[in-house]
Structure 1
Amino acid sequence: MLATKDWLGQYFDHSTDAIFIFKDDALLVQNQMAKELEQELKVDPMYLLQVADTSVKQKYSQTNGCFNCIIQNKMTNLSVPLTLADDSTHPLHYFMVYSILDKTAHLFSITLKSRGTINRMDQLAQQRKLTRYVNRAHELERKRISADLHDSIAQGIYSAIIGIRRLRNADLSTEQLTALSNVIENQLDDTLKEVKGMALDIRPSVLDNFGLLPALKVLANRLEENSGITIEVAGKADTSVLSEDVQSVLYRIAQEAINNALKHANASEITVLLVNHQHFIILEIIDDGDGFDVPSHQSFNGRSLGLLNMSERVKALNGTFNIKSKLHDGTTVTAKFPVADLGRKQHV
């Protein structure tokens, strides 16, 4: 038991957070960081207590200022932004966390946590989450390409091989040879189209050779032929000011949004708009389909994985991304980039 008290005391005293423990209005104990803040920044524990008192009363004003009622019946903890040394050139930003330790004994703590540290931890957690997401997205894409190669390309080539073996080994008439040769040729033509289609999905050469707007028109024509759904591309945006990275992202957004509309929305018409203004460029993909509830698709699932991917790609290049949709009222996907930032040819 004594050893436990020792390491608990060490943890309390060496914490990077400043911790003050009160009973009623009296300060019982404080750790080393709290003592340093009190000495160096002249932080008065009673001032912190008054800030906590005021914040609690504001939050639970329905109790008519009954502070003890709040402690006994409602309060568990409360977080309040707090700035220390705000009159200096480098003010210190904290979160003051008020926590009830023992309601009956009126024992509570006030902890000062550095907002900078918390923000860095949040950023690290977000980065780890994004890394897991990207790894998952890449793995799903590899699975899709693998399935396409096996189910379509490999099967087409294997079928052509069987036909060639038959040409070599079978005793066929001229008419049969001609017919079989035509079958093999058609099979190889279909396989070649599949390969070209996969190449366009992975990286369209027209995007590199002619720019974003022609690439969007080629994409729309190809998907329109395959689906029978009207897909119109409009706009006269000058995409020469866009970096290759931004053009690639905008192309992928259009590709993902159109495919989502075709697969999930039962759309009869899809419009792609690419317009620029003095300081920014906007891509919009508008469909007249079923629509969906956007918040319910913001977690990781089959459909929202692509939506999150679009959002993260845009944010990585200092753009903004938005999805507006309602059930039975279509969907509009919008990406917006500041032109001033695009002229520097970003690469991330």
Structure 2
Amino acid sequence: MRLLPRRLFSTSLPAAGDLPPGVDEARSGRRWWWAFCAGSFLMTAGSVWGQRETGVLHNFFFWPPSGMALGVALLHGWRAYAWTLAGGALGLLCMLAPGQAAFYFISDVMIVVPGCWLVRQSWPQSPRYVPGVRFLSILFLMGGVIPCGVMAPLVWHFVMRHSFPLVDFHLGFLSWWLGGCISVVVFTPVMLLLQSSFRSEGFRSWRSMLLALAQIGACLYLSVLVLGRDEAHPILTMTVLIVLGGLIAAWGKTTGVILANLALLTVAVAAQSQFPELETASFSAARVYFHAILLESMTVSLLIAGGFYDYRRADQVLHGLAGHMLTVQESERRRISADLHDGASQLIAGAGMRVAAALAALRVAKVPAPVISDMESAARELSGALKELRRTVAGLRPEMLDRAKFADVVADFCAQAGRRFGASIIFRNEARACGEQLPIEIREHLFRLVQEAVSNAIQHGRAEQVRVTLAPAPGRPDWLEMRIADNGRGFDTTAHERMDRLHLGLRTMAERARLMQGTLRIDSQPGHGAVATARVPIHPSSGGQIAS
């Protein structure tokens, strides 16, 4: 009977994008296996050596091999994990007695095998992992909490209680369980960073690294607070660590949080060797309590970072859909404009010419005056319909936008809009010839943005005067600034922020600014008008997304 799914025994290797260029996949696979074996040997031997140096041989709170082996099994399958096990077993045999080595070996297998099976069963996109809150929750629960929670009482009851007869069962169980969970929370994500989809978040700024250093400094202080005194301060300890973890998650992105947690645990374990031990060093109540707080802090910060990742990914998808919508919209406007210009406009113009010719013939034939009056009315209506249609075509897409100067097109629109709405719309061009260097896609989006801003100022703001200014952006000579200011009623910009949404027109303006790789700022107060300021690069980068 097959107890494990076939994909757990997958022989898949790193993706083609992760292989060195010019290296055969099979040869590269063998090298990866040897790398896993050598890395596992060094990590296992180093962990045992570090425990000996700190005087705590059975410190289950810092045991990287099991968490890293789980990461290898999740990423590269069973064969790579077998090589990892081989390297780990060799490292244990070199550093420990055979009985102790067998115990550590079996413990790692009992965590990694069921953990890998549960994670892969719970994550349908295996073996592609993303640092979202859903996967990180699955990793923590299925890869750490459940396997360690099931195996910890068995391991302690049948094995460890004979080596530590003075240690209470619950204290020993918590020590073994916390150690397994910490290894999964800290070291498995480090291994998953080998996958490009998992490390796509990267770092956010150097400020995030300063926060990580603050977290480590707080850990040292809290080590003294918890382990160096008789009286613990649980509320203060948990509050400081969780707040710092949340700040790192907000500023450091997922990769920064993973590396900060790794540094935090390393420093925390190293600092503990400086404190006086209780009866049994590895299993003191203060030590268990301290690592429970660390686990909580690291898990919370990791889940917060995963939530931010999900939010940013959803926001990117939303922006992509909005950009696609604007692209399709502009394409349809071009098509409809061309169809109206080449179809209906020509038909109405032809009908007007025929009516004019018929009217001239009727006048020569001296038909009754009422008939001539009706024909004259029909001719005027056709002429008016043709003018309205041409205005509509120009609104869909000005014919001269890619032929005439951009400033002249905007000035013409302001003059027409002023006559149509009965308002004073003044355009000033302070950019000289800089506006003519804009690509046609930028011209289209910037023109639409002016249209929307002027329309909002007059229709919603009831403005009597609107000033449109095109000028170089202050302090940025390679950027242009389009400023639309009005004396209308204004509005409360914070009202939209409180509702976490913008008016549809303002959202469309913001999306156009983003597609131009620029910025948009709206300043307004009730009763004091509004100012919309858009800044766009004259020469946008080729890697940016510009809807055309």
Would you say same fold, with TM above 0.5?
yes
- In structure 1, C-alpha distance between the alignment counterparts of 2:543 and 2:191, rounded to whole Å: 48
2:248 alignment partner AA: P
Which residue in 2 is equivalent to 1:29?
180
TM-superposed CA distance for 1:193, in Å, is 2.0
TM-superposed CA distance for 1:266, in Å, is 1.3
The answer (yes or no) to whether the contact 2:430–2:469 under 8 Å persists in 1 is: no
- In structure 1, C-alpha distance between the alignment counterparts of 2:191 and 2:503, rounded to whole Å: 52
Q: How does 1:145-224 map to 2 (within 5 A)?
A: 174-224=368-418
Q: How does 1:225-304 map to 2 (within 5 A)?
A: 225-237=419-431, 238=433, 239-276=435-472, 278-297=477-496, 304=503
- In structure 1, C-alpha distance between the alignment counterparts of 2:115 and 2:517, rounded to whole Å: 46
Which residue in 1 is equivalent to 2:528?
329
- In structure 2, C-alpha distance between the alignment counterparts of 1:195 and 1:183, rounded to whole Å: 18
Indicate the larger mover: 113-122 or 264-273: 113-122
The answer (yes or no) to whether the contact 1:280–1:339 under 8 Å persists in 2 is: yes
TM-superposed CA distance for 1:222, in Å, is 0.8
Which residue in 1 is equivalent to 2:118?
10
SS of 2:388 mapped into structure 1 = helix
- In structure 2, C-alpha distance between the alignment counterparts of 1:73 and 1:228, rounded to whole Å: 61
Equivalent pairs counted in the alignment come to: 295
Q: How does 1:51-70 map to 2 (within 5 A)?
A: 51=215, 54=218, 67-69=233-235
- In structure 1, C-alpha distance between the alignment counterparts of 2:541 and 2:190, rounded to whole Å: 48
1:215 alignment partner AA: V
Higher share of residues assigned helix: 2
The answer (yes or no) to whether the contact 2:484–2:531 under 8 Å persists in 1 is: yes
1:68 alignment partner AA: P
Specify whether residues 215 and 70 from structure 1 end up closer, same or farther in structure 2 by C-alpha distance, changes over 3 A only: same
Deviation string, structure 1 residues 25-84 (Cα, Å, up to 9, x no partner):
95253264645468999xxxxxx9x949948x99xxxxxx984346899999862427xx
The runs of 5 or more residues in structure 1 that have no matched partner are 1-5, 42-47, 59-64, 83-90, 98-105
SS of 2:444 mapped into structure 1 = helix
1:126 aligns with 2:126: no
Deviation string, structure 1 residues 180-234 (Cα, Å, up to 9, x no partner):
1112112212221221121111101122221211111111111111111001001
- In structure 1, C-alpha distance between the alignment counterparts of 2:257 and 2:316, rounded to whole Å: 23
- In structure 2, C-alpha distance between the alignment counterparts of 1:92 and 1:73, rounded to whole Å: 23
1:29 alignment partner AA: G
What is the RMSD computed on CA atoms of the aligned residues?
Answer: 5.2
The answer (yes or no) to whether the contact 1:285–1:334 under 8 Å persists in 2 is: yes
- In structure 2, C-alpha distance between the alignment counterparts of 1:35 and 1:345, rounded to whole Å: 36
Q: Which of 233, 240, 246 is residue 79 of structure 1 equivalent to?
A: 246
Deviation string, structure 1 residues 99-140 (Cα, Å, up to 9, x no partner):
xxxxxxx88633264999767644431133235556777999
The answer (yes or no) to whether the contact 1:231–1:271 under 8 Å persists in 2 is: yes
Which residue in 1 is equivalent to 2:257?
94
1:213 alignment partner AA: A
Higher share of residues assigned strand: 1
SS of 1:93 mapped into structure 2 = helix
1:287 alignment partner AA: D
- In structure 2, C-alpha distance between the alignment counterparts of 1:197 and 1:75, rounded to whole Å: 64
- In structure 2, C-alpha distance between the alignment counterparts of 1:40 and 1:284, rounded to whole Å: 47
Deviation string, structure 1 residues 250-271 (Cα, Å, up to 9, x no partner):
1111111000011011111100
Which residue in 1 is equivalent to 2:49?
none
SS of 2:488 mapped into structure 1 = coil
1:81 alignment partner AA: I
The answer (yes or no) to whether the contact 1:207–1:214 under 8 Å persists in 2 is: no
- In structure 1, C-alpha distance between the alignment counterparts of 2:311 and 2:317, rounded to whole Å: 10
- In structure 2, C-alpha distance between the alignment counterparts of 1:243 and 1:177, rounded to whole Å: 54
Deviation string, structure 1 residues 112-170 (Cα, Å, up to 9, x no partner):
6499976764443113323555677799999xxx9xx9xxx9xxx8xx99xx9xx9xxx
The runs of 5 or more residues in structure 2 that have no matched partner are 1-113, 124-128, 130-134, 149-169, 194-211, 223-230, 262-291, 359-365
TM-superposed CA distance for 1:312, in Å, is 1.3
Specify whether residues 39 and 220 from structure 1 end up closer, same or farther in structure 2 by C-alpha distance, changes over 3 A only: closer
Deviation string, structure 1 residues 235-258 (Cα, Å, up to 9, x no partner):
232212211111112111111100
**Which of the two has higher C-alpha Rg?**
2
- In structure 1, C-alpha distance between the alignment counterparts of 2:423 and 2:482, rounded to whole Å: 20
Indicate the larger mover: 15-24 or 309-318: 15-24
- In structure 2, C-alpha distance between the alignment counterparts of 1:280 and 1:185, rounded to whole Å: 49
The answer (yes or no) to whether the contact 2:482–2:533 under 8 Å persists in 1 is: yes
The answer (yes or no) to whether the contact 1:256–1:306 under 8 Å persists in 2 is: yes
- In structure 1, C-alpha distance between the alignment counterparts of 2:191 and 2:400, rounded to whole Å: 67
2:180 alignment partner AA: V
- In structure 2, C-alpha distance between the alignment counterparts of 1:249 and 1:240, rounded to whole Å: 14
Which residue in 1 is equivalent to 2:99?
none
1:10 alignment partner AA: L
Specify whether residues 67 and 52 from structure 1 end up closer, same or farther in structure 2 by C-alpha distance, changes over 3 A only: farther
The answer (yes or no) to whether the contact 1:292–1:327 under 8 Å persists in 2 is: yes
1:199 alignment partner AA: V
The answer (yes or no) to whether the contact 2:246–2:304 under 8 Å persists in 1 is: no
Specify whether residues 266 and 316 from structure 1 end up closer, same or farther in structure 2 by C-alpha distance, changes over 3 A only: same
- In structure 1, C-alpha distance between the alignment counterparts of 2:323 and 2:541, rounded to whole Å: 24
Specify whether residues 7 and 242 from structure 1 end up closer, same or farther in structure 2 by C-alpha distance, changes over 3 A only: same
